[in-house]
Amino acid sequence: MPISLRETALAAVAARLTSQISAAIVERARRSEVDTDNETLPRLVLTGGDLDADATLEALMVHYTLSFVVEGYARAATDLAAEQAQSALYAQVVAALAGWEPAVAGIGDMQEAGAEFALLSADAAARPAGQFAARFSLRLIAATGNPYAA
Amino acid sequence: MSVFDEAMEDLHNDADLSIAAEFRRPPFAWVAVRAILSQSTDAIGGLGGLGARAGQVQADILAAAITDTPTKGDQLRIGATAYTVEAAERDALALSWRLTLSDATQP
């Protein structure tokens, strides 16, 4: 069964994160919250987003823009250290992905699209921890009606 | 002492409800108190995504057991764990304090 270009792209991103950020656990397609008290951190969760399609750029080809989010979770002994760990993990994600071109035909043009950060408030979390959601996009190019990896 | 004081004191002295703890404002000495703990684990709103799940700790102590008005940076020690007070809220009758605790170490 052929593998879709979307899945190929997300698998490549996950492999890149795993290889470049060895200190963090990388997960895909997780549907439950991350337990910042009991799970091993730092942790990254990659989730694929929407696909925008543009068939006007090239004859017989569709140019897709795939958005995805990398959520990061970090914990530390103090509030300040938790924020610093969050910033450090985010920087590692950007260093791993921004400007990187997957070695897969039809996938490229990685774009960074910003991030949101939050330290978990004390009335919700006794242990200092933080999370971020970093947004990126990739360009996928496929023949019309054939959105599979080459 | 009103009936409310007595009722609150009874609750805090009930060994099934409360535990021994110590309160202090660093660097002053620890003062023995009884604490009624509340610990829950809840989902915390995410940033448009999954979000986190974490546990919070709150402790009720009798206002009469301490001389200070609890504030951020005070400490409550339960067993070997010294929690830091993040916030303190007094009940309507000013009989007890509900302390929101952090187990972060002091920077």
What pLDDT, on a 0 to 100 scale, did the predictor assign at position A22? 96
Q: Which pLDDT belongs to residue B104?
A: 79
Specify whether the CB–CB gap between A127 and B103 falls below 8 A: yes
Q: What is the DSSP string of A40-59?
A: -SSEEEEEEEEEEEEEEEET
Distance from CA of A97 to the nearest CA of B (A): 19
Classify residue A16 by its DSSP letter.
H
pLDDT digits (tens, 9 = 90+) for B3-19: 888 999 999 999 999 99
pLDDT of residue A150 exceeding 80: no
The arithmetic mean of pLDDT across residues A19-34, rounded, is 96
pLDDT tens digits, one per residue of A35-74: 999 999 999 999 999 999 999 999 999 999 999 999 999 9
The mean pLDDT value of chain A amounts to 95
Residue B105 has pLDDT above 80, yes or no: no
Q: How many CB atoms lie within 10 A of CB B63?
A: 17
Mutate to test the interface with A, among B56, B58, B71, B86 (most CBs of A within 10 A): B56
| Cα(A51)–Cα(A74) distance, integer angstroms | 29
Cis bond upstream, residue B27 (ω within 30): yes
CA distance B101 to B58: 6
Mean pLDDT over residues A95-99, rounded? 95
What letter would DSSP give residue A122? T
Question: Are A125 and B43 inside 8 Å of each other by CB?
Answer: no
Q: Which residue of A has its CA nearest to B104?
A: A78
Query: What's the pTM value of the predicted model, to 2 decimals?
Result: 0.89
Q: In this predicted model, what pLDDT tens digit does every residue of B35-94 receive, in sequence order?
A: 999 999 989 877 878 889 999 999 999 999 999 899 999 999 999 999 999 999 999 999
- Across the interface, whether the CB atoms of A118 and B50 are under 8 A apart is answered no
Q: State which residue of chain B sits closest to A80, comparing Cα positions.
A: B107
